Amino acid sequence: MDLIYVSERKLYGRLGLWPTSVQQGLQASVKVPPLIEVSGSRSWERVAEPMAAHALVKKAQRIIERRFMPVPFTTRNLQANQWISFDINMAQVAVHEDSGRPPEDVALFVGQTPARTVGQERDLGLLLCGSVQHLRTQICAEGRMGSDTTWLHDLILEVERREENGLHVIPEFLNEVMPHRRSDIIIEDAAFGVHGWIGRQYPPATRGRLRGHAIVLMDIDHPRWMHRLVVATPLYAEAVHEQMPEPRRRIGFPRIRRRTRTP
């Protein structure tokens, strides 16, 4: 399993997998002029070493499937804060805010599923967005996120900040997360714009298969858009390597030698 992206904050916080704490103690004495001896002891809780990323993901997978019953991202009428699973070819890029400068601080993953698959009436896009701090591998840096995407860029980082501070619930209305309100059309237009230009930049032949679990931010499914788009924040993403089928062995039969008749 090759991990591409892992958010330990989401996995530990949302699944209740915080490492156990162990009690530590310290005793010391120090002489302060004029020869007054001061002694004391101090105890504190030290957080134990967290699990290795691969072990954490394996344990998280079992808990997620058992406790939260995630649905495929292709499921209709997804709600904010709902758990989903994905297994799809995706492009991977890193970007920074439209008017800002490098380094890139947002990681984006883009995929597309055609219509008439798994009961879909229209094409379905998937946009996963998180912090580059959780990347486990190098991905392409694409610079600016795009015009009129500042709100979406800030939303992505604000969700990460909330997770860091222990706020593991995404409100139904994303305007509650951000201090500046935006209309639904502007919000959806930014998401479609980002998904579109990455999709054009990285055609399906250049993408790799990723699978994992994520939390829904938006399920945009209105007639005014060409296709449906699911926007989510990933907990983790792992690369899936296709195994080449082994060539069939040719079964050899012993040659039959014909006897020549002798006169």
List pLDDT tens digits, range 50-61. Answer: 678 899 999 999
pLDDT tens for each residue of 64-114:
999 999 999 999 999 999 999 999 999 999 999 988 888 999 999 999 999
Average pLDDT over residues 35-57: 56
Which of 124, 94, 121 is closest to 109 using CA atoms? 94
Q: For the chain, how long is the longest CA-to-CA vector?
A: 129
Does the global pTM surpass 0.85?
no
What is the sign, positive or negative, of the torsion defined by CA atoms of 173, 179, 184, 190?
negative
Those residues whose C-beta lies under 8 Å from the C-beta of residue 120, and which sit 6 or more positions away, are: 74, 113, 114, 228
Taking the CA atoms of the chain, what radius of gyration do you get in angstroms?
26
Average pLDDT over residues 234-239: 96
Q: Is the pLDDT of residue 31 over 50?
A: no
Q: Is the pLDDT of residue 163 over 50?
A: yes
Quickly state the pLDDT bin for 116 (edges 50, 70, 90): confident
Q: Is the pLDDT of residue 136 over 50?
A: yes
pLDDT tens for each residue of 190-211:
999 999 999 999 999 999 999 9
